[in-house]
Amino acid sequence: MVVLVSVVLLAFVFDPLTPLLYLSFTVLITFLFGKVGMKKWCIRFVPFFIIAFGYVWTTTIFSNPPSNTSFVTYAKLGPFEITDYGLNTGLALGLRVLCFAALSLMFILTTDTTKFMLSLIQQCKLPPKLAYGILAGYQFLPLLKDEFTIIRNAHRIRGVHWEKGIKGRIQLLKKYTIPLLASAIRKAERTAIAMESKGFTGSRDRTFYHELKVSGKDMLFFLLMVGIFIISKYVSETI
């Protein structure tokens, strides 16, 4: 909920300073309270930084200031003109993208998947069938990666050689897809049987071993993030 509210608030901001301040606070909170490794976070953040940089330079170069707006020209490259309007607009878009990325990483890197799905069931009344189906599918992804590694190593041990070019890639795709699909079907059947044997029917009227509730820390975190946005916006308006 904090991430969604923050994204909605940032969507109505068009100056570069507010998202810059909010991004700084978000990153600081992630490292201080999220127990997230610097290297792990940076590796995932770099692609978003590249996307944001693309927003900045394309908007700066190709934006046309409104006719009724006064602007300052910083540089002129042939038909392209770098103005303060284009630069501010590009920085606002790029920093907003980085804010969205930082909020998403804070959520992904600090949230337990199982507890998150249980919370959606208990707090947001998400249908158990849908929630447990999503959770089971998410848990299958690491298993499919392991299966892929096993199949690839088996091919290497047996000295299987693939043709180069498009034909070889299509052949390689077939050799990997069919075993992975068969393995996924077997795992899905075993999971379904296990859930039925434990009495899972998808009914809402069920008890939970882990009961998740909204605590005071959750409300404090919500107020902190909203307060940071208000402060960032205020500072941006006053400077």
The per-residue pLDDT for range 159-210, each reduced to its tens digit, is: 766 666 676 677 777 777 888 888 778 877 887 787 777 666 666 666 777 7
Cα 158 from chain centroid? 39
At 43 the pLDDT is: 92
State the pTM of this model. 0.75
At 233 the pLDDT is: 92
Round to whole Å and give the CA distance between 26 and 228.
Answer: 9
8-49: pLDDT as tens digits? 999 998 889 999 999 999 999 999 988 888 898 999 999 999
Residue 125 region, left (φ>0) first, then alpha (ψ -120 to 50), else beta? left
Do 117 and 123 meet the contact criterion of CB atoms below 8 Å apart? no
Round to whole Å and give the CA distance between 202 and 136.
Answer: 14
Residue 200 tokens, joined: 């899972």
- CA nearest neighbour of 145 among 183, 105, 109, 171: 183
Residues in the chain: 239
